[in-house]
C-alpha cells in the first residue's frame, strides 16, 4: 500500500501545501482520502484527473472536503462527455452540503458524478482495502480510518481531540497518520485537535510502528510539533509534507 501526501496543511492551505488530502494506492486502485481546499491542483501531480476510483471524506469541514466542488466540475463537464460516477464515502449529509457549497439544487446536486455512500462506524470494503471507521472527537461528525491491505495497516486520525477510539483504530498499525494541529502551551480547546505530544501518546498507546504528523497549521513551528512528538513516541516520527510518499509496511 502506497500513500502519497497530497496536502497536509491544517485548517487552511499553506504556502507549501494544500489542505488535507492523501492518495492511497494498492493493486492499481486509487483512493483519495479527504479533498480539502487547494488539493485538486496538487492531486494532478500524482494521478490523472479521471483516474480516481473512490473518495473518502473524514468530515465536512472545508479543509477536508471543499475541492469536491471543482472535482464535480471536472467529472461533469469533461471533454467528450461526463465521466462515470465514482463512490464518495462521507458523513450523513455529504451530498446535500456539497451541492449547497457549489450553488446547486440539492436534487440532483452532484449525484450525476458521484455515488454518495454514508459512512457509519464499522467495516466496509473499498476496492482492495478493508476499511474500518469510527467516530473521533471533533465538533462535527468526523471519522477516523483504519485501512488494511495485504497484512499492512494505515491509520488516519481525521481531525480529533483526545480519544481512545484513535488508539483502537491505530492498534499495531504500521503507519499512523495523525493530526497535530496544536502546540503545548497554546490555549487548547478540548474535543477539537491534538498537540504533537498527544498525537505521540495515542500512537504509543496503540503500539504503532511509525508516526507521521499531519494537519500542520501554517502559523505553528513544525519543528516544535516534531520535538513534542519525538519526546514521547520512541519509534520513527516524521512530519508530513506535500509530495511525501509512505510505503506502508515496506
Ligand atoms: Zn475539522
Q: What is the pLDDT of residue 79?
A: 93
Q: What's this model's pTM, rounded to 2 decimal places? A: 0.97
Q: What whole-number distance in Å separates Cα of residue 2 and Cα of residue 5?
A: 10
Considering the chain, what is the average pLDDT of its residues?
97
pLDDT at 192 over 80: yes
Is residue 2 pLDDT above 70, yes or no? yes
150 Cα: distance to centroid of ligand 1 (angstroms): 30
Q: How many CB atoms lie within 10 A of CB 70?
A: 15
Q: How far is the CA of 79 from the centre of ligand 1 (A)?
A: 34
Q: What is the pLDDT of residue 187?
A: 81
- 21-35 confidence digits (pLDDT tens): 999 999 999 999 999
Per-residue pLDDT tens for 137-181?
Answer: 999 999 999 999 999 999 999 999 999 999 999 999 999 999 999
Task: Measure 172 CA to ligand 1 centroid, in angstroms.
Answer: 25
Is pLDDT of 250 > 70? no
Sketch out the chain's domains with CATH numbers.
Answer: 2-247 (3.60.15.10)
137 CA distance to ligand 1 centroid (A)? 10
Amino acid at each position: 500500500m502506497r500513500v502519497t501526501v497530497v496536502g497536509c496543511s491544517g485548517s487552511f492551505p499553506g504556502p507549501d501545501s494544500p489542505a488535507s488530502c492523501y492518495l492511497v494506492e494498492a493493486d492499481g486502485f486509487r483512493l483519495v482520502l479527504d479533498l480539502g481546499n487547494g488539493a485538486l491542483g496538487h492531486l494532478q501531480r500524482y494521478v490523472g484527473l479521471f483516474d480516481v476510483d473512490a473518495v473518502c471524506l473524514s468530515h465536512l469541514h472545508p479543509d477536508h472536503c471543499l475541492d469536491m466542488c471543482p472535482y464535480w466540475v471536472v467529472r461533469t463537464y469533461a471533454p467528450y462527455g461526463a465521466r462515470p460516477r465514482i463512490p464518495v464515502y462521507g458523513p450523513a449529509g455529504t451530498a446535500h452540503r456539497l451541492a449547497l457549497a457549489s450553488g446547486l439544487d440539492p436534487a440532483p446536486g452532484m449525484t450525476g458524478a458521484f455515488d454518495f455512500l454514508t459512512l457509519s462506524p464499522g467495516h466496509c470494503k473499498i476496492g482492495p482495502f478493508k476499511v474500518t471507521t469510527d467516530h473521533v472527537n471533533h465538533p462535527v461528525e468526523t471519522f477516523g480510518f483504519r485501512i488494511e491491505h495485504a497484512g499492512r495497516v494505515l491509520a488516519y486520525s481525521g481531525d480529533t481531540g483526545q480519544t481512545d477510539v484513535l488508539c483502537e483504530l491505530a492498534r499495531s498499525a504500521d503507519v499512523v497518520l495523525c493530526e497535530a494541529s496544536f502546540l503545548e502551551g497554546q490555549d487548547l480547546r478540548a474535543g477539537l485537535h491534538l498537540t504533537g505530544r498527544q498525537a505521540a501518546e495515542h500512537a504509543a498507546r496503540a503500539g504503532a510502528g511509525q508516526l507521521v504528523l499531519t494537519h500542520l497549521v501554517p502559523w505553528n513551528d513544525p519543528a516544535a510539533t516534531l520535538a513534542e512528538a519525538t519526546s514521547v513516541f520512541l519509534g520513527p516520527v516524521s512530519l508530513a509534507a506535500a509530495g511525501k510518499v509512505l510505503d506502508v509496511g515496506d
